[in-house]
Amino acid sequence: MSKKDWLVNIKVLVVSCIIATIGNAIYSAKAGDPVSVVEGIPGMLLLLLISLGGLAIWAAVNKNHAKHNMPAIAYISLLAMVMTIPGFPGAEFTYASINKIGLLPLCTPILAYAGISVGKDLDTFKQQGVAIVLVSLFAFVGTYIGSAIIAQIVLSIMGVI
């Protein structure tokens, strides 16, 4: 990965962390368990460092093995799991810090980037024709209905419904 690619990755990750930290403060306040921006910074910095560490491992592996197909997220996830193993140096701090960050605020910048990406490739999407639209709609509806059925079953088993 070139220096330019690293700079772009770092910029995107930093902006995502800023948005997610602010979103986390708003989300947690509305949920009734407020986590201030300052309280969320250590967890977000750890997530940033883990992401950059995983990207560095991915880049090192891909530099030496051109046909390696494992995505960077696999290395990022593996690094995060290792850093939270009980007994690993700093695992308790890592877990406690990251535990203050909600999943939903992390999704906000990711979904925004996905929307921008789809919007950028809209012409390519149009060239695919009606078939891709129908397949997408069926996939979305099927996923929604499948998720609703699973949620209904689990909630029924738990006695909530």
Q: What tens-digit pLDDT sequence spans the chain (161 residues)?
A: 788 989 998 998 999 899 899 999 999 999 888 999 999 999 999 999 999 999 999 998 888 766 667 888 899 999 999 999 999 999 999 999 999 998 888 887 777 777 777 667 667 767 777 777 788 788 889 999 999 999 999 999 998 87
* DSSP state, residue 34: -
What distance in Å separates the CA atoms of residue 101 and residue 84, rounded to the nearest whole number? 15
Two tokens at 147? 């998720």
Based on the fold, state whether residues 75 and 112 are members of the same structural domain.
yes
Q: How many domains does the chain have?
A: 2
Diameter over CA atoms, the chain: 54
Check: CB of residue 66 under 8 Å from CB of residue 55.
no
Q: Do 38 and 73 fall into the same domain?
A: yes
Domain check: are 66 and 138 in the same one? Answer: no
Contact between 35 and 20 under an 8 Å Cβ cutoff? The reply is: no
Q: Are residues 114 and 135 in the same domain?
A: no
Residues 139 and 112 in one domain: no
Q: What pTM does this model have?
A: 0.70
Q: Are residues 63 and 98 in the same domain?
A: yes
State residue 66's pLDDT score: 63
Classify residue 109 as left (phi > 0), alpha (psi -120 to 50) or beta: alpha
**Residue 116 structural domain:** 3-121
Q: Same domain for 104 and 46? A: yes
List, in order, residues 6 or more apart from 97 with CB less than 8 Å away: 42, 43, 46
